[in-house]
A and B are shown apart, each in its own frame.
Chain A
């Protein structure tokens, strides 16, 4: 099974900060990586698919990069509504696997 190691597990940040979250796959997954945002009590929302393609309607301050085994989600200029938990997902090979999540809270 492909393991997805996501870091950090939690972080504190301020409005306006640049935030970077990483996911490392235990083996190459090409570009089969998606990022999701989840707020408490709600359904996860897809932000990015194919490693770097922004979901329609998602603000451009969100971006994704990487290929192979190392991937990054960047939020350029954190906004109050961005405080949430973020997950990566590899969908290259079954079983599909999520990262452990990164909780972004207010500093």
Chain B
């Protein structure tokens, strides 16, 4: 069955960078976009953006554009999230989630499969 597996927890100092991976299996990787969603401690869900895994075209939420970067390696069905210039406020669990690559209304179209989440802690 479809699955997303993420890399392990990270502890970083302020100003550093982090790169989180999300490996897909059990489905055709390029049929689905990979989105990134984060959740700070005791806070709600926040959409960072998404990447079209077929074309590599990214879309970023306004608050993260310029500091967050998405990429894919289609040869290993893996998407990546890189955050530069980490701040303490970036401490959160980062989830990768899939949705059909095109806007649609069916069951495959929105967040049916989630990764387990990667805890990124930013602390001096």
Contacts and interface: CB of A to CB of B under 8 A. Distances in A.
A36 B111 contact: yes
Q: Place the interface of chain A in its size category.
A: 20 to 34
Contacts of A92: 103
Nearest to A43: B114
Interface stretch (B7-15, B24-32, B44-52, B73-81): B44-52
Interface string A63-107: 000000000000000000000010101011011111111000000
B56 interface: no
Contacts, number: 63
Interface in B41-68: 44-47, 49-50, 59, 61-62
Q: Place the interface of chain B in its size category.
A: 20 to 34
Interface in A17-60: 31-32, 34, 36, 38, 43-44, 46, 49-50, 53, 55-56
Nearest to B35: A96
Contacts of A55: 107
Interface of B: 35, 44-47, 49-50, 59, 61-62, 95, 99, 103, 105-107, 109-112, 114-117
